[in-house]
Structure 1
Amino acid sequence: MTTGPAAATRPRNRRQLIVEAAGQVFSERGYHGASMEHLAAVVGISAAALYRHFPNKYALFAECADLIVDNLIAAVDEWPPEAALRDVLLALTRVTVSHRSSGGLYRWEARYLAREDRRLLRTKFAYVVERVTEMVRREYPLPDERLRAMATLGAIGSITMHHTSIAQRRVEELLLASALGVVATDPVAAAGTAHLVELPAQPVPRTRRAEILAAAIPLFARDGFATVTNVQIAQAVGLAPSAIYRHYPGKVDILVAACLQAAGLLAQAVDRSLCRAADPRQAVVALAAAYVAYCFEHNALNSVAQAEVAGLPADLRRPLIVAQREHIAVWEQQLRTVRPELDPRQARLLVHAGFGVVVEAGRALRWQNTPGHRDAVTALVTGALTR
């Protein structure tokens, strides 16, 4: 039996270490942007050694996708059904924070899973939602318990979607307070906030270039940028594939145009809505209402901008990141006016928690764009920020 130095130092939990490291790479680069060779290099092993644990990239990806939700299940199962909601939410927060670098994989990259694996992942997450819903129903008997439970998990899960650096204990405190603010919010509390929003319409495609962009956005949203081909885009517009290149040098240029359009529409919505706010607190509500309306009205466009920007080359990504930061800076300024005890990083973390509420609440409502749904989600976002 061989007992050389490599065997002596090989960690017993190597498979776990591989999954945790790979989850971070998939979250940062996307499924298609990560190779087995790069994954092996991050873990610190050879590609051959990685293949001894996983037969292919998909097998590793599927296990990574299950990592955080399996840990969430373990966290809720540690508590009896009669446990205090606060204790369970704190446990879920700690699990999520500990997997912060890889948790983003669930939100955007899970669409690349095979149908059965996606179904299993949804079933697991639904179990966590139902456990939280039972506790929300018992402790906060307000309407729409499941919606509030989903939104609460969105606030907690938001920590996986940004890199704001704060001491871990303070992160846990802020996320827990935000989550509890969501569950304590009556979803009808913001009824009638539509008057605060003047949402710009998505431009009508009047040129061939605009038609190509309009056709590509729903394809990118449904199937992911990496898997959509110029042939598919051309077919959707009724063009020969070669005709695409007369309007866009490459597929990535279509994606950049989509992201820039998303940033422009959101900036217009924010500017118009803030003009209608009479005081700082109403300004926060107006921001929430504008962002919610934008996400529901332009759901495919927003999902593309959120999911795909990280995979762009650095030079193309930079102006989009600047636009995102400018948008968040507006939120920070308004929120700190209402809550002066927050420093900029704390305010930024809470703003992202509000964004997370929109993602999960929107999914719970299947993005059905009705005034009632938009008002309910606006109320929950406001609760996440200001409670």
Structure 2
Amino acid sequence: MTAEPAAAVRPRNRRQLIVEAGATVFSERGYHAASMEEIAAGVGITAAALYRHFPNKYALFAECANVMVDRLVAALGEVPADAALAEVLAAVTRVTVAHRGAGGVYRWEARYLNREDRRVLKGKFAHVVERVAEVVRREYPWPDEHLRAVAALGAIGSITMHHNSIARRRVEDLLRASALRVAAADPSAALADARVVELPARPQPRTRRSEILAAAIPLFERDGFTAVTNGMIADAVGLAPSGLYRYFPGKADILAAACLQAAGLLAQAVEHNLRGVTDPHDALTALTATYVAYSFEHNALTSVADAEIVGLPAGLRRPLVVAQREHIAVWEQYLRQARPGLDARQARVLVHAGFGVVVEAGRRLRWRNSPEHRAAVAALLVNALDL
């Protein structure tokens, strides 16, 4: 007699499994490109079964957006109040690295959460920042402890924004040490040593195509890529919506073209400011000043690109990824010359950590473009790289 096959047992943590799978898909695909069917398949259930736990994609996304910060709050709650900064940052690093695949969701929270959900999430992040800032102020009592705290967290959080393969313990050590150096920096003393760099002039919108690019990015930043319609872009440049198709096949092509244009400006700036520089430390100083100046000058485009490129079709995304990799390769080359003990993967992790510092510090400063702000952020980036 043959035994009947055992009925499938529903796991008790199915909701948690759905949230984990959802956070990963949202991180990798973007909010709008992700589908409930794809998330359900990642858990091994049907979409109908998924809807028994979440009524719609937004409800799942809202819960996914809180996963990382809830883990950070819980981890910091277990750290003694009098713990050293190294211990506090170690707790943040362990959680972030362990869940790096799902951590990118926070890129979209500002655009796609409703006002109340966004307020709650920001409150949780503010708690994490305040906890770190308290210890930074105690151990390194010079100005701008909150700026240094968010920059240190940006160095750690950078691991959620790329896919470099590196051993978990090794990357934890790299990111914790980088964040400690950032927290210990004194950005207020950096202006005297600030390097002046030149950026290419912004392209003047002299053609319809360039007018469309110039008009679309502020709309994408304000409303989010998906919420902006062709009609809104056309209206901004005085065209009928059908007129856009004479210049671009679709809205995604406008975003991709604007990002490629900006990547070209950055490449030109790097080439110009590295001309004649041979010492690797001098080259990294020039790269730092150039990248920071570029980030402040083009903050609207870079914020849109960070949030939206992941959702572009592969054919449009590929040239942008290639441009980014080429830029990172320049940093990696000089960083390994300046710090010969680093291998290629370690160098790339640190370069991304530096970029994470710029993003979070720039946001903290509301991208107000002044010599003082650029010098402060450049000093934090240099400390992230340990130069």
TM over 0.5: yes
1:163-174 superposed matches below 5 A: 163-174=163-174
Could you say which residue in structure 2 is the equivalent of 1:127?
A: 127
Measured on the aligned residues, the alpha-carbon RMSD in Å equals 1.6
Report if aligned partners of 2:151, 2:357 keep a CA contact under 8 Å in 1. Answer: yes
1:334-353 superposed matches below 5 A: 334-353=334-353
Q: 1:111-153: CA deviations, max 9, x gaps? A: 2111111111111100000010000000111221000000000
Q: 1:284-322: CA deviations, max 9, x gaps? A: 121111111111110111122222222222222222111
One-letter amino acid matched to 1:198: E
* Count of equivalent residues: 384
* Pair 1:190 & 2:208 matched: no
1:132-211 superposed matches below 5 A: 132-192=132-192, 195-211=195-211
Q: How far is the alpha carbon of 1:278 from its aligned partner? A: 6.1
Could you say which residue in structure 2 is the equivalent of 1:304?
A: 304
Structure 2 distance, partners of 1:6, 1:369, is 65
Q: Select between 168-177 and 35-44 the one with higher mean Cα deviation.
A: 35-44
Q: How far is the alpha carbon of 1:277 from its aligned partner? A: 4.3
Q: Select between 359-368 and 7-16 the one with higher mean Cα deviation.
A: 7-16
Structure 1 distance, partners of 2:262, 2:338, is 28
1:237-252 superposed matches below 5 A: 237-252=237-252
Could you say which residue in structure 2 is the equivalent of 1:274?
A: 274
Which runs of 4 or more aligned residues in structure 1 lie more than 4 Å from their structure 2 counterparts after TM superposition?
Answer: 4-8
Q: How far is the alpha carbon of 1:95 from its aligned partner? A: 0.4
Report if aligned partners of 1:19, 1:60 keep a CA contact under 8 Å in 2. Answer: yes
One-letter amino acid matched to 1:380: L
Gaps of at least 5 residues in structure 2 are none
TM-score scaled to structure 1, two decimals?
0.96
Please state whether the residue corresponding to 1:141 is helix, strand or coil.
coil
Please state whether the residue corresponding to 2:191 is helix, strand or coil.
coil
Report if aligned partners of 1:101, 1:160 keep a CA contact under 8 Å in 2. Answer: yes
Gaps of at least 5 residues in structure 1 are none
Q: Select between 303-312 and 128-137 the one with higher mean Cα deviation.
A: 303-312
* Pair 1:315 & 2:325 matched: no
Structure 1 distance, partners of 2:192, 2:271, is 20
Report if aligned partners of 2:195, 2:289 keep a CA contact under 8 Å in 1. Answer: no
Q: 1:344-366: CA deviations, max 9, x gaps? A: 11000000000000111011101
TM-score scaled to structure 2, two decimals?
0.96
Query: Alignment identity in percent?
Result: 73
* Pair 1:260 & 2:282 matched: no
Report if aligned partners of 1:258, 1:305 keep a CA contact under 8 Å in 2. Answer: no
Q: How far is the alpha carbon of 1:196 from its aligned partner? A: 3.8
Q: How far is the alpha carbon of 1:210 from its aligned partner? A: 0.7
Structure 2 distance, partners of 1:192, 1:264, is 30
Structure 1 distance, partners of 2:244, 2:138, is 56
One-letter amino acid matched to 1:157: G
Please state whether the residue corresponding to 2:133 is helix, strand or coil.
helix
One-letter amino acid matched to 1:118: R
Q: Select between 249-258 and 6-15 the one with higher mean Cα deviation.
A: 6-15
Could you say which residue in structure 2 is the equivalent of 1:215?
A: 215
Structure 2 distance, partners of 1:28, 1:36, is 14
One-letter amino acid matched to 2:242: S
One-letter amino acid matched to 2:300: A
Q: How far is the alpha carbon of 1:193 from its aligned partner? A: 5.4
Could you say which residue in structure 2 is the equivalent of 1:79?
A: 79
Structure 1 distance, partners of 2:342, 2:34, is 37
* Pair 1:232 & 2:218 matched: no
* Pair 1:365 & 2:369 matched: no
One-letter amino acid matched to 2:80: P
Q: 1:360-380: CA deviations, max 9, x gaps? A: 101110111111000000000
One-letter amino acid matched to 1:275: R
